[in-house]
Amino acid sequence: MATVTIDGKQYTLEDLSDNAKGQLNALRVCDQKIQNLQREIAIIQTARAAYAKGLAANLPEGPDEDAGGDSNEDS
């Protein structure tokens, strides 16, 4: 018989109500979605790190003091 453990207690699937089975199925779908999203996040974080490394490698040696981003000297 198939069983499931919930909060440390083991239940036989046949003994669960249809509503409980539906909730269990929805919970499993949510867990799968979370795992997929965590994999996606890991991939994106790896890509971000590569982009940051590429950016750092392409920056000029020192900061350009004339390129003050907040000042507006042309006005």
Res 62: pLDDT:
78
Structural domain for 47, as ranges: 18-57
Residue 13 DSSP label: G
Is 35:47 a contact under the CB 8 Å cutoff? no
Confidence of residue 46 (pLDDT cuts 50, 70, 90): very high
3-state secondary structure of 35: helix
- Quote the number of domains for the chain: 1
12 contacts: CB under 8 Å, gap ≥ 6: 1, 2, 3
Whether residue 46 lies inside any domain: the answer is yes
Q: Is 63 helix (H, G, I), strand (E, B) or coil?
A: coil
Let me know if residue 28 belongs to a domain.
yes
Residue 63 within any structural domain of the chain: no
- pLDDT (tens digit per residue) in 7-41: 999 999 999 999 999 999 999 999 999 999 999 99
Is the residue at 38 inside a domain?
yes
In a domain, 7, yes or no: no
